[in-house]
Structure 1
Amino acid sequence: MKQKILFFIFSLFIFLQTNAQCAMCRAVLESEDGQSTAEGVNNGIVYLMAIPYILVAGIAYFIYKRFSKSKAE
């Protein structure tokens, strides 16, 4: 169980460091002077992509806790 938790935490940190821009967004934003807009777009994409995964993981955790509690009784 500890290995699964450590793997999840490790993969979460790796996930946060990825570049999430599509090819079109990257091409348009790289031609712009100053990369602040590109960083903002990239952070927004990662934020929008992470929220559904966090919600599904939270729901799965509560379902797991509920079923593991009923098996223990």
Structure 2
Amino acid sequence: MKRLRILLSFLMLSVALTALTSVPAQAQCAMCSINAEQGTKNGNTQGKGLNTGVLYLLAIPYVLVTVVGIVWYRKYRRKNDTHVAVH
């Protein structure tokens, strides 16, 4: 339980530090940005599709980490429950 608290504290601290020290980035592929700008000016919805794709690419690692964390937590909890019952 103490290890879990330390791990959660470390994760929260690193998330807070990352949020406080992040710098906005303006680096992207010139072709993508030009196409997206011109497409939205002409009434195309390519910019919407590009934004949706970026959101999917951004969300997948978080979903995977969450699923692995839940599976790990359930196995860890089940292991501790059987260990307590034996003693």
Q: TM-score, normalised by structure 1?
A: 0.58
The reply to whether residue 46 of structure 1 matches residue 43 of structure 2 is: no
Identity of aligned pairs, percent? 29
Structure 1 stretches (4+) deviating beyond 3 angstroms? Answer: 22-25
1:8-23 aligned at under 5 Å gives the runs: none
Rounded Cα–Cα distance in structure 2 between residues aligned with 1:47 and 1:72: 37
Q: TM-score, length-normalised on structure 2?
A: 0.49
Q: How many residues align?
A: 52
Pairwise CA RMSD: 2.2
AA in 1 matched with 2:78? K
AA matched with 2:63 = I
Q: Which structure is higher in RCO with an 8 Å CA cutoff and minimum separation 6?
A: 1
Give the gaps of 5 or more residues in structure 1: 1-21
Partner of 1:14 in structure 2? none
